[in-house]
Amino acid sequence: SNLKLPYIFSVTFIYTAACLLFVYSVKDIIKNKLELFLIFLLMIFNPIMYSIDFQRVYRNSLTPSLVIILISFYNIALLSKNDKKTYKYIFGFVGASLIFPFFYYIREDSIWIVPFIYFYSIIIVISILKEIIKSKKIEIKNIIKIIFVFIPILTLLLFKTVIGNINYKYYGSNAINMNDFEGLQEALYSINMVKNEDINSIETVSRKTIREIYNFSLFFSHFKKFLCFRIP
């Protein structure tokens, strides 16, 4: 918010950066620059990213970018696991450690990414163990590499604690997402049951719907003055 950048511009910029990072992450296995450029073009002009569902202020707009960034960081770690210098490997896992919790907690159904994390992590650990067995000695760099494999999981648990404490402070519950709050799902179901007469609206709950709720619910009418937009 301090940068004063429009939301849609920011989403497009992040997606472009994610595509560039993915191309960078596979450059060691795809040597041809023309092929890398074509991959970038195919990704950046993905029609779904410019559809009405993603070109609006909606948290789902960030999901494709975050997935690509997370995969890219794991690609970097995986492809550099046997390098003598470990800076790229560490860079990959540090990046994944920051993105993974952000992606995981931005929605309530992000658990589907966990098998991907496990698959990459197991392959990397097995590769490092094979290197140890082959050299018949345990080097410090190998221990460091194995430790970094588990850092994304640790940051996920850390973020869970932080988010839980913040929610407890403001809402009296250490729930992590809205599905964990008691009574919230019932309240959302009741709101969504209000008939929306605007058939052209892409909003889940339109302004007309909110206006109707304010007219018939004494409880919700108290929150009218706190909305970021005014409803006549």
pTM higher than 0.85, yes or no?
no
Q: How far apart are CA 98 and CA 95, in angstroms?
A: 5
pLDDT in tens, 150-165: 999 999 999 999 988 8
Residue 123's CB: how many other CB atoms inside 10 A? Answer: 13
pLDDT at 120 (0 to 100): 92
pLDDT in tens, 113-143: 999 999 999 999 999 999 889 888 888 888 9
Which H or E run contains 151? helix 151-171
Q: Nearest 10 degrees: CA dihedral of 226, 229, 231, 232? A: 110
CA atoms lying within 13 Å on the CB side of residue 119: 7
Which parts of the chain register pLDDT below 50?
228-232
